[in-house]
Chains A and B, each alone.
Chain A
Amino acid sequence: MSDPLFDNAASEGRPVVAWVLIGLGIATLLFGSYVGLFVAPQEKFMGEVYRILFVHVPTAWNALLALTFAFGCALMFLFRGDWRWDARLEAGIEIGVVLSFLLCCQGAIWAKPTWGVWWDWDPRLTTTAVLLAAFLGILALRRFVDDPVKRATWSSVATVIAYVDVPIVYFSVKWWNSLHQMQSTPNTVSSAFHLPLRVNAIGILLLLIGVITLRTRIAKMRLREELAPPEPAAGSAMEYAPGAGR
């Protein structure tokens, strides 16, 4: 078998690097959250409520990054047909969906005391929910297709099509008038808030890479099992043995 998926099977040991990354990610996230909760000054207009921004904004960046990674994997699978990209695609979509869900939840928690409602039909909020639904649909597609070749190709195609929505999420504030905050950049955020935002973004990024590595490993194991040639039935050697049946 010349497929790299099978070639690298024996060399894959314990996922030490992934666990180290997850550990580092948690530690970084704890440090960033401590700075965000106890060191960063109070915001002038929103008071203490604004502190959710220190996880909300990094979650948004990393959700977009995970879905962009999934898009890249989908393109790589379509062009190269390498199974490892399908395993990475599965991991990327799942983590992207989890982060997008967390993003919607954090947004709702922030919106209630700030806007007075849990949910507002703000274009950016709505488009994030639409994006979440679109990628959940792709996860459902992966569950409902048994043939690994069709599953990989179709989910890659569906990811490419759904990714067309991602720029709309990001630029929708500019396209439509909105209640939402403008995108957070170093120019729109006070310099006192830069450290916890950046530390948490790095923390979530490390977690993201660690979890994607672990999830890819599981997907590869399942793919190896699915793509392995069937074992010969017991007793079949006897049927073809010379003199069998005499």
Chain B
Amino acid sequence: MRQLIAALRKEMLLQWRTRAQILAIFVFGATSLLLFSFAVGPNSTALRLHAAGFLWLALLLSSTLALAESFQLETEQKGLEGLLLLPASARAMYYAKAIANAFQLSILGIALVPVMVVLYDVSIENLFGVFGVIVLGAAGLSAPGTIYSAMASQARAKQTLLPLLLFPLVVPVLLASVKATSLLIAGDPMGQLKSWVTLVTSFDLIYWSLCGLVFGRVVED
């Protein structure tokens, strides 16, 4: 636990020092939201209907930028080898990185909500519920995203490889998050919210456990 806290402290410090980059990723996400509206046209009803989907697509596209940078510093000066020489487990390193990524994506998602409200004229019934789903969905993106980022950062064509590996895998998380967010925005008369939240939570549990188990093999071999 102490190892995890120490590693998490390092990750949060790194994120604070590279905050300009997070701001740039937010601008990218907001621009994506703006561009989606051009795809649908100036039809405010259609925009309102698809607002949750656009929000999650913007977050997914932004996540590839955020996650791709996640192991950049470790690979530049052989920092990863240095970290592995420390008397700390790779699992602590993984969970610290994944928590930091989930935190960053959650902040990004929450920051994109006002942009969505302004651009698509959406009135949200349950704002804190939407924030909760964003945190759950961001956790689902960051668990496999962190492990794939560790692989992609050391491979050729890293910019192509990360989305190629990540996008198919997170489809269920994306689907459940979009559905849950839509229900929280427009209301849930049929009581479907619980099942979608259960689905995204189950995926979170599976991916967080599985990726934590295998991460050691990815960085140590």
| A residues lining the B interface (CB < 8 Å) | 78, 126, 130-131, 133-134, 136-138, 140-141, 144-146, 149-150, 153-154, 156-158, 160-162, 164-165, 168
Contacts and interface: CB of A to CB of B under 8 A. Distances in A.
Nearest to A78: B217
Nearest to B156: A144
Q: Which of B156, B169, B210 has the largest number of chain A CB atoms within 10 A?
A: B169
A134 B221 contact: no
Contacts of B221: 149-150, 153
Nearest to A151: B155
The 9 A-B pairs with the shortest beta carbon distances in the complex, nearest first, are A133-B168, A134-B168, A153-B221, A137-B165, A137-B164, A144-B156, A144-B155, A157-B214, A154-B151
Contacts of B217: 78, 153, 156-157
B117 interface: no
B206 interface: yes
A173 to B, nearest CB: 15
Interface residues of B, number: 25
B8 interface: no
B118 to A, nearest CB: 30
Contact of B165 (A130, A138, A165, A168): A138
Given A140-B161, A144-B161, A154-B151, A161 B169 contact: yes
Interface in B143-183: 144, 147-148, 151, 154-157, 160-161, 164-165, 167-169, 171-172
Interface of B: 144, 147-148, 151, 154-157, 160-161, 164-165, 167-169, 171-172, 206-207, 210-211, 214, 217-218, 221
Q: Which of A126, A133, A157, A162 has the largest number of chain B CB atoms within 10 A?
A: A157
Contact of B214 (A136, A145, A160, A165): A160
Contacts of A78: 214, 217
Given A134-B165, A150-B154, A162-B168, 6 more contacts: A131-B168, A141-B164, A145-B155, A153-B221, A158-B165, A161-B214
Nearest to B157: A144
25 contacts: A78-B214, A78-B217, A126-B171, A130-B168, A130-B171, A134-B165, A134-B168, A140-B160, A140-B164, A144-B155, A144-B157, A145-B151, A145-B154, A145-B155, A145-B156, A153-B218, A153-B221, A154-B151, A157-B214, A158-B165, A161-B169, A161-B210, A164-B210, A165-B168, A165-B172
A161 B164 contact: no
Contacts of B144: 161
B169 A134 contact: yes
Contacts of A153: 217-218, 221
Nearest to A172: B172
